[in-house]
């Protein structure tokens, strides 16, 4: 989840919704040119002072991400989830996550590489998200699914960067990332299952050690 300032989180739900709805309306109007969207108009429509905006959010992008987050359904985290791999398949399914407004906001983000970069790293770098991934990995370890020498912290961070790497790949190969999450899923398969066939590592390691 994206994290605005604590002052925003303490607002009444009605006021938070009013601000996020006003933001979604403004970004939708200027969906073809994000730079033309204005904090001042959002504040006016939401009935708050511009100065209050900066008490609630770090910047305009922070508000965009919060509005986007409010219009998507993140996969639920349940204690009986079977594995991190199954969770990853749900997390990559944007079609299930987004409502109509979320689709528009996603288009804005996907059209702006810097916004997508910030989307991934502001969201995934949050401690609660990283802890969620670590918890999945620890449960997978208890089930004997992981390599014994796996560094869980490193694996969790690597997991959180896959989405951005897939996005960059799609940009370079002119693939519509939003419509084709197959690339991200294939990269997830490489993360989870590796690139060498069974037994290949045992064959290669003696050669490297010579």
Per 3-state DSSP, what percentage of the chain is helix, strand, and coil (rounded to 5)? 70, 0, 30
Would the pTM of this model clear 0.75, i.e. be above it?
no
Query: For residue 192, what are the contacts with CB-CB under 8 A and spacing of at least 6?
Result: 84, 85, 88
φ, ψ of residue 31 in degrees (nearest 5): -65, -25
pLDDT value of residue 164: 87
Beta carbons of 98 and 106 less than 8 angstroms apart: yes
The superfamily (CATH) of domain 6-70 is Tetracycline Repressor, domain 2 (1.10.357.10)
Does residue 95 register a pLDDT over 70? no
Domain parsing of the chain, residue ranges: 6-70, 84-196
What's the mean pLDDT when you consider all of the chain?
85
**Which stretch of 37-41, 86-90, 136-140 has the lowest confidence by average pLDDT?**
86-90
Mean pLDDT of 146-171: 90
Q: For residue 199, what pLDDT is reported?
A: 81
Both tokens of residue 12? 């009444």
Whole-angstrom distance, CA of residue 127 vs CA of residue 73: 20
CA distance 57 to 4: 5
Token representation of residue 112: 């702006």
Residue 8 in this model has a pLDDT that exceeds 50: yes
Query: Residue 167 and residue 120: Cα distance in Å, rounded?
Result: 10
Closest alpha carbon to 135 in 115, 159, 119:
159
Q: State the Cα–Cα distance between residues 182 and 166, nearest whole angstrom.
A: 9
Q: Do 183 and 177 contact (CB within 8 A), yes or no? A: yes
Rounded distance between C-alpha atoms, residue 24 and residue 144, angstroms: 45
- For 197, the token pair is 């066939």
Distance CA 191, CA 85 (A): 10
CA 36 vs CA 27, 61, 95, 103: distances in Å: 9, 13, 28, 19
What is the reported pLDDT for 50? 92
- Give Rg (Cα) of the chain: 20
């Amino acid at each position: 989840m994206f994290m605005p300032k604590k002052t925003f989180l303490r607002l009444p739900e009605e006021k938070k919704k009013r601000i996020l709805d006003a933001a979604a309306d403004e970004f939708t109007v200027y969906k073809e040119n994000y730079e033309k969207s204005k904090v001042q108009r959002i504040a006016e429509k939401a009935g708050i002072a511009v100065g209050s905006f900066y008490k609630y959010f770090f910047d305009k992008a922070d508000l965009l991400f919060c509005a986007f987050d409010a219009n998507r359904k993140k996969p639920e985290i349940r204690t009986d989830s079977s594995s991190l791999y199954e969770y990853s398949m749900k997390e990559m399914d944007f079609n299930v996550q987004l409502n109509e407004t979320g689709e528009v906001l996603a288009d804005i983000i996907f059209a702006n590489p810097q916004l997508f970069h910030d989307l991934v790293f502001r969201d995934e770098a949050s401690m609660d998200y990283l802890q969620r991934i670590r918890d999945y990995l620890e449960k997978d370890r208890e089930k004997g699914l992981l390599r014994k020498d796996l560094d869980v912290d490193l694996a969790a961070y690597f997991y959180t960067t896959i989405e951005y790497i897939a996005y960059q790949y799609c940009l370079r190969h002119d693939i519509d990332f939003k419509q084709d999450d197959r690339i991200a899923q294939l990269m997830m398969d490489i993360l989870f299952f590796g690139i060498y066939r069974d037994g290949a590592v045992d064959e290669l390691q003696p050669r490297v050690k010579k």
